[in-house]
Amino acid sequence: MFEKRLRGLLSDHEGEIRPELQALYDNLAGTEDPDTVLRFITKNDASAVLGELGKGRRPLSHDALDDLGGAKPVEHLRAVLVATGALPPRDEQMARLDRWVTATIAARSDSEERQLLQRYGLWHLMRRLRRRNKDAYATYSQTAVVKTHRRVAISFLDWLAARGLTLAPCHQGHLDTWVASDSASRRGGAGHFVR
Residues 6+ apart with CB under 8 A from 139: 93
Cα separation, 61 vs 58, in Å, equals 9
Split into its structural domains, the chain has a count of: 2
Residue 150 and residue 126 share a domain: yes
Each residue of 99-123: pLDDT tens digit? 888 889 999 988 888 898 888 888 8
In DSSP terms, which residues pair with 17 in a beta bridge?
11
Q: Please, are residues 193 and 149 in contact by the beta-carbon 8 Å criterion?
A: yes
Written as one string, the DSSP assignment of 68-84 is T---HHHHHHHHHHHHT
Of 83, 117, 145, which one is at a domain's C-terminal end? 83
Residue 169 shares a structural domain with residue 110: yes
- Tell me: pLDDT of 186 over 80: no
Could you tell me if 99 and 187 lie in one domain?
yes
Shared-domain flag, residues 188 and 105: yes
Residues whose CB falls within 8 Å of the CB of residue 189, separated by 6 or more in sequence, listed in order: 148, 149, 151, 152, 153
- What tens digit of pLDDT does each residue of 17-66 get? 988 899 988 988 888 888 888 887 777 677 888 889 999 999 999 999 99
163, burial (CB in 10 Å: exposed 0-12, middle 13-18, buried 19+): exposed
Between CA 143 and CA 184 the distance in angstroms is 21
Check if the beta carbon of residue 47 is closer than 8 Å to that of residue 9.
yes
Containing domain of residue 155, as a range? 92-194
**Is residue 114 domain-shared with residue 23, that is, in the same domain?**
no
